[in-house]
Amino acid sequence: QVQLVQSGAEVKKPGASVKISCKASGYTFTSYYIHWVRQAPGQGLEWMGIFNPSGGSTTYAQKFQGRVIMTGDLSTSTVYMDLSDLSSEDTAIYSCARDSPSGSYEIDYWGQGTQVTVSS
């Protein structure tokens, strides 16, 4: 079965960076894009960007351009999301999510989420 398993919770200081992993299994890794979505406490879902494991191309939401980098490792079927220059406003649950077989920006599977807390 399809699974997206993310790395554990992180606590960071303002100005630091965080790198979250998302290990995929149960399907052909290179055949499906991966989205990153975050949810601040009590808030809605916010799209951060998308990564294509086949070739490594990315599209980032304008809000995060210059601060986010999404990469992948084919050997371990893992996608990474690196967010830099953290502030308290980046405290949120970060989730990876698989795009559907149609490849048309429809999410069909989600990771369990990774809590990132930014605090001095």
Partner 1 sequence: NFMLTQPHSVSESPGKTVIISCTRSSGSIASNYVQWYRQRPGSPPTTVIYENNQRSSGVPDRFSGSVDSSSNSASLTISRLKTEDEADYYCQSYDNSNLVFGGGTKLTVL
Site residues for partner 1 per CB under 8 A: 35, 37, 44-47, 50, 59, 61-62, 95, 100, 102, 104-108, 110-113
Q: Least distance (Å) from partner 1 to the CB of residue 112?
A: 6
47 Cβ contact partners less than 8 Å away, ≥ 6 residues apart: 35, 36, 37, 61
Smallest distance from partner 1 to CB 80, Å = 19
Taken in order 74, 103, 56, 89, is the CA torsion positive or negative? negative
The residue (of 2 and 11) whose beta carbon lies closer to partner 1 is: 2
CB of 58 to partner 1, least distance (A): 10
